[in-house]
Structure 1
Amino acid sequence: MLKYIKHYAESIDGITIYPVISLLVFFIFFVAVLYHVKKMNKEKADEISRLPLEENTGNKEAHHFENFKHA
């Protein structure tokens, strides 16, 4: 099966550019996320880091789920 796909892919003209494009998209996305995290203020980062640990989030859906769980 892989041999068939490899043979088919080799017959397509200009297919060698797609791995380069995908690498560039990944690298640009990674750098953008890294830049966003570096520019984030410390208070916001601390707030986000505490989210999974907070019990009372004030979210109505979470409260509804807790009521459903106890019923």
Structure 2
Amino acid sequence: MLKFIKHHMTSINDIGIYPVAAFVLFMGIFIVASWYILTTDRSRLQHMEQLPFSDNEQA
């Protein structure tokens, strides 16, 4: 089965761009998520942390 997949992968032109695109997409999402976490106000993070356990319901 691996030979079947490898054969078809080598027949695709410019297949090398897909790993690069996946890496760039992953790193972009990772950097944005890290930036959001580091710049978000600590009180908001504590509020979000307690949401599943909160007894009061706000609409």
Structure 2: stretches of 5+ with no match in the other structure: none
Structure 1: stretches of 5+ with no match in the other structure: 61-71
Rounded to whole Å, the distance in 2 between the matches of 1:39 and 1:59 is 25
> Alpha-carbon deviation of 1:59?
6.2
Matched, 1:9 2:17: no
The number of aligned residues is: 59
> Alpha-carbon deviation of 1:12?
0.8
Q: Deviations over 1:17-60 (max 9, x none)?
A: 10011000000110000001111001100001111222x24168
- Equivalence for 1:24: 24
Could you tell me the percent identity over the aligned residues? 29
Q: TM-score, normalised by structure 1?
A: 0.74
Alpha carbon RMSD of aligned pairs, Å? 1.6
Matched AA of 1:39: T
After TM superposition, the runs of 4+ consecutive aligned structure 1 residues lying more than 3 A away are: none
3-state SS of paired residue (1:58): coil
Q: TM-score, normalised by structure 2?
A: 0.87
Cα 1:57/1:4, change in 2 over 3 Å: farther
